[in-house]
Structure 1
Amino acid sequence: MSSAAPHRPLPMFQILLCGALIVTLSMGVRHGFGLWLQPMISDNNWTREHFSLAMAIQNLTWGFTGIFAGMLADRFGAFKVLVVCALFYALGLVGMAYSPTPTLLALTCGVLIGLAQAGTTYAVIYGVIGRNIDPEKRSWAMGIAAAAGSFGQFLMLPLEGWMISTLGWQQALVWLSLATLLIIPLAIGLREPGFHGSAAPKRDQSIGEAMQEALRYPSFLLLMGGYFVCGFQVVFIGVHMPSYLRDYGMPTEVASYSLALIGLFNVFGSYLTGALGQKLSKKYILAAIYLSRSVVITIFLLAPLTPTSVYIFSAVIGFLWLSTVPPTNAMVAQIFGVAHLSMLGGFVFFSHQVGSFLGVWLGGALYDSTGSYDIVWYIAIALGVLAAALNLPIRESAIQRGLRARAA
């Protein structure tokens, strides 16, 4: 009788290097989309809601299809998912550049790029980390990957702003489409040997059983509720902040620098929360982040708006930006294990993207109807307080699956 060879983990350095570079590219491009709002609607005679709706569809598509991208990555490994979605990314960016109508923009920038992001960002990369890195270092490693996405924002946003101003917004998107194809050779470094499902971690549950268990577990639903708020806040700010500043007469470079500062300081915030997640309660880390966001936004709105106040706000909110990602995903792994981590992470991220949909769409819709972003800022403050309250009752301990099965 023969048995299958055990899964040999990939080297941690290789995972972190390739995973970090993939997230840097994918998230770096994604974080800069707000820079295209003004030139696109001006040249095409569209409204802010047209652009915002396409971005909202992108976030919702990303969240929904991320569940299935996670299932495929858990079953067949991350490599194939990354390759296919990198091709989607390149096609979506070219389509975004040459969409003549808001409908085609929604299909390319919205649906196609949303599909691409589902398979080239955190859920898939974190699945590889969970399967190959020991629990004692898992939260820290997730922090490294999240910090890489933030560094991509810091690195690429000034570059994207320069490309728009020198090449034009359409050619800038074409060049970015070529850059996303670099994800394909990087994905080779995340190709887990012999990973065809049977070499994945041993599962005591089917996909359906894992889904039912998580969706019936109150702490999982509370975690999803908090992550909904995260999506609402960061995507509203990321997409509409440049236009908000332009409305108050700020130079274009202030918006680019502000988004770059968010990315720079999020490198430190993401790494720190990943490291702290190894030592402190993750639910208290998350509650502190959400509450701090509400306080920071409130101070920003009350203070006089100057380039200095914008840069200070960007640095502080940047420290809190994607710092929710490592403790959230590490908590999912801690409660449910890693066998279905990409899929369950996809469910949590779907709630994040529903929040993203509402944040970016309401930003455009309420601006067009009221001439101001004020109402959306106030909603973001209230939701931050709610998210802090939702995280406090979460039970972080591993679910006692074996005891329950024996009782049954």
Structure 2
Amino acid sequence: MSTAKPAHATTHSTTLATTLKNPTFHVIVAAALILSAAMGIRQTFGLFIGPFSYDRGLPVTLIAFAIALHNLVWGFAQPFAGAAADRYGAAPVVAFGATTFAAGLALAAGAPSGLALIAGLGLLVGIGVSCTTFGVVLTSVGRVASAEQRSMAMGIASAGGSLGQVLMVPFAQTLRETSGVSTSLFALAFLMLIAAPLGIVLDRRGRGADMSHAVASHAAVSAPATSLRETLAHATRHRGYRLLTLGFFTCGFQLAFIATHLPGYLTLCHMPMGLGATALALIGLFNMAGSWACGWLGGRLRQQHVLGWLYLIRGATIASFFLLPKSTLSVVLFAAVMGLTWLGTVPLTSGLIAKVFGTRHLGTLFGVVFLSHQLGSFLGAWLGGFVFDMTGSYSLIWGATALAGLFAALLHFPIDDTVHASGASVETARA
């Protein structure tokens, strides 16, 4: 009796084995896990505003400022973290960032005052996030993936990173309710430390990457690589790069406001307890599909056009949610659509930068654009608390968040994606 395997089964097994041995696959998985830890944990911060206010007597404005400050520190630290990864590799940067991130959570867990909370959640967490997220992690994926597959690879890594938001929010909510704020934050700090060694995988390069670098070195003989200073100078003069930077500001403003203040807003609307945590988890769940889809679309359509439509959809969704009556169904639908448009901007934005300027200084160039994103994040998180304390309502900030979507769309559609000379030489070398 024959025991030979069907041809299609053998082909499938060979393809699976090849995929599992592919260094690019390893980098994508490691990037997704690191992003899951870092982005998932920071997505839980909105759950602690109420407990910090009621149990420790801290003003909502101060707590919102601490959360907003980590976005601001993240933004200012991102170009330096990206430049360090460009020069020294991702492993030491991720290890340093994960440790600093965990230290900030631990400090916030035992914070006896508002100053300690600001130092923990604001300063230390901000530095840690800059070393463990997009500017370091996704740019590592961008370097190992081919130009044709880069947008998709970044989208897959971002989608996998959303798993952390799906799991971390209910985990933190449950632990906070059963064991208290301090235990919940200490547990999150421990999870962040576990992710630290994964940075080693981001620096792995297979034979294909080595061949690519060998060809790049040969090409450099006839076309010297553009220095960081020259690339930055050209980028600041590039109209498309400036528009992309301004547009990313609005993205940060929208996401930070919603992530920080949605649970409190739903409480004001007399929605069921725990619905805020459910909404944040649903945003993470649908972001998995949204990030993958944006990465896929970015590999087939002009990335700036995909970004423009994404911002239009997001702005319309925010306006509809605010203006229409609130119900559990409307919250679930809002979370689903927001999730589909949540972090899909990141692989599209970083992919567009890589297309125009190449990958040699991608960490630094994306870091500068991301600084703008985090300036918006700071204002979104902090102004939400400030406006609420001043007016007793989130109405003004909801309106501004919706209009920001239209503003961003108008900025992205006219972006010129003509390849810069340095980007062309790098991609030619990679080919």
Give the TM-score range, shorter chain: over 0.9
Q: What's the offset of the Cα at 1:193? A: 6.1
> What per-residue deviation string (whole Å, max 9, x for no partner) do you get for residues 323-378 of structure 1?
11111110000000000001111111111000000000100000000000000011
The residue matched to 2:343 in structure 1 has which SS? coil
Of 341, 345, 353, 1:332 maps to: 353
- Please give the alpha-carbon distance, in whole angstroms, between the structure 2 residues aligned to 1:62 and 1:268: 26
> For the Cα contact (< 8 Å) 2:33–2:160, is it kept in 1?
yes
- Please give the alpha-carbon distance, in whole angstroms, between the structure 1 residues aligned to 2:144 and 2:322: 44
- What are the residue-to-residue correspondences of 1:8-407 with 2, within 5 Å? 11-192=23-204, 204-401=225-422
> What per-residue deviation string (whole Å, max 9, x for no partner) do you get for residues 268-292 of structure 1?
1110010111100111100001111
Q: What's the offset of the Cα at 1:107? A: 1.2
Structure 1 range deviating more: 140-149 or 364-373: 140-149
The letter for the 2-side match of 1:68 is: F
- Please give the alpha-carbon distance, in whole angstroms, between the structure 1 residues aligned to 2:53 and 2:228: 43
**Partner residue in 1 for 2:3:** none
The residue matched to 2:132 in structure 1 has which SS? coil
The residue matched to 1:135 in structure 2 has which SS? coil
**Partner residue in 1 for 2:18:** none
- Please give the alpha-carbon distance, in whole angstroms, between the structure 2 residues aligned to 1:159 and 1:149: 16
Q: What's the offset of the Cα at 1:301? A: 1.4
**Partner residue in 2 for 1:3:** none
The letter for the 2-side match of 1:64 is: F
- Please give the alpha-carbon distance, in whole angstroms, between the structure 1 residues aligned to 2:32 and 2:41: 14
> For the Cα contact (< 8 Å) 2:271–2:328, is it kept in 1?
yes
Q: What's the offset of the Cα at 1:115? A: 0.2
- Please give the alpha-carbon distance, in whole angstroms, between the structure 2 residues aligned to 1:47 and 1:215: 40
Stretches (4+) displaced over 6 A: none
Q: What's the offset of the Cα at 1:401? A: 4.8
Higher Cα Rg, which structure: 2
- Please give the alpha-carbon distance, in whole angstroms, between the structure 2 residues aligned to 1:49 and 1:269: 32
Q: What's the offset of the Cα at 1:191? A: 2.9
The residue matched to 1:158 in structure 2 has which SS? helix
- Please give the alpha-carbon distance, in whole angstroms, between the structure 2 residues aligned to 1:165 and 1:172: 9
The residue matched to 1:119 in structure 2 has which SS? helix
> For the Cα contact (< 8 Å) 2:140–2:203, is it kept in 1?
no
> What per-residue deviation string (whole Å, max 9, x for no partner) do you get for residues 153-185 of structure 1?
112111111111111011100011111011122
Q: What's the offset of the Cα at 1:400? A: 3.2
> For the Cα contact (< 8 Å) 2:357–2:423, is it kept in 1?
no
The letter for the 2-side match of 1:230 is: C
The letter for the 1-side match of 2:186 is: V
Gaps of 5+ in 2: 1-20, 218-223, 425-431
> What per-residue deviation string (whole Å, max 9, x for no partner) do you get for residues 243-267 of structure 1?
0011122223111111111111111
> For the Cα contact (< 8 Å) 2:355–2:423, is it kept in 1?
no
**CA RMSD, 1 decimal:** 1.9
> What per-residue deviation string (whole Å, max 9, x for no partner) do you get for residues 215-268 of structure 1?
121110100111100000011000000000111222231111111111111111
Identical-residue share of aligned pairs (%): 41
The letter for the 2-side match of 1:396 is: D
**Partner residue in 2 for 1:406:** none
> For the Cα contact (< 8 Å) 1:63–1:118, is it kept in 2?
yes
> For the Cα contact (< 8 Å) 1:77–1:192, is it kept in 2?
no
- Please give the alpha-carbon distance, in whole angstroms, between the structure 2 residues aligned to 1:288 and 1:150: 21
TM-score by length of 2: 0.88
Q: What's the offset of the Cα at 1:128? A: 1.1
The letter for the 2-side match of 1:344 is: L
The letter for the 1-side match of 2:372 is: S
Q: What's the offset of the Cα at 1:214? A: 1.1
The letter for the 2-side match of 1:213 is: H
- Please give the alpha-carbon distance, in whole angstroms, between the structure 2 residues aligned to 1:346 and 1:11: 25
> For the Cα contact (< 8 Å) 1:258–1:311, is it kept in 2?
yes
- Please give the alpha-carbon distance, in whole angstroms, between the structure 2 residues aligned to 1:52 and 1:146: 26
> For the Cα contact (< 8 Å) 1:10–1:132, is it kept in 2?
no
TM-score by length of 1: 0.93
The letter for the 1-side match of 2:344 is: S
The letter for the 1-side match of 2:264 is: S
Q: What's the offset of the Cα at 1:397? A: 2.1
Q: What's the offset of the Cα at 1:101? A: 1.7
- Please give the alpha-carbon distance, in whole angstroms, between the structure 2 residues aligned to 1:138 and 1:382: 31
- Please give the alpha-carbon distance, in whole angstroms, between the structure 2 residues aligned to 1:123 and 1:13: 19
Q: What's the offset of the Cα at 1:149? A: 2.4
Q: What's the offset of the Cα at 1:103? A: 1.8
- Please give the alpha-carbon distance, in whole angstroms, between the structure 1 residues aligned to 2:141 and 2:240: 23
> What per-residue deviation string (whole Å, max 9, x for no partner) do you get for residues 368-389 of structure 1?
0000000001111111111000
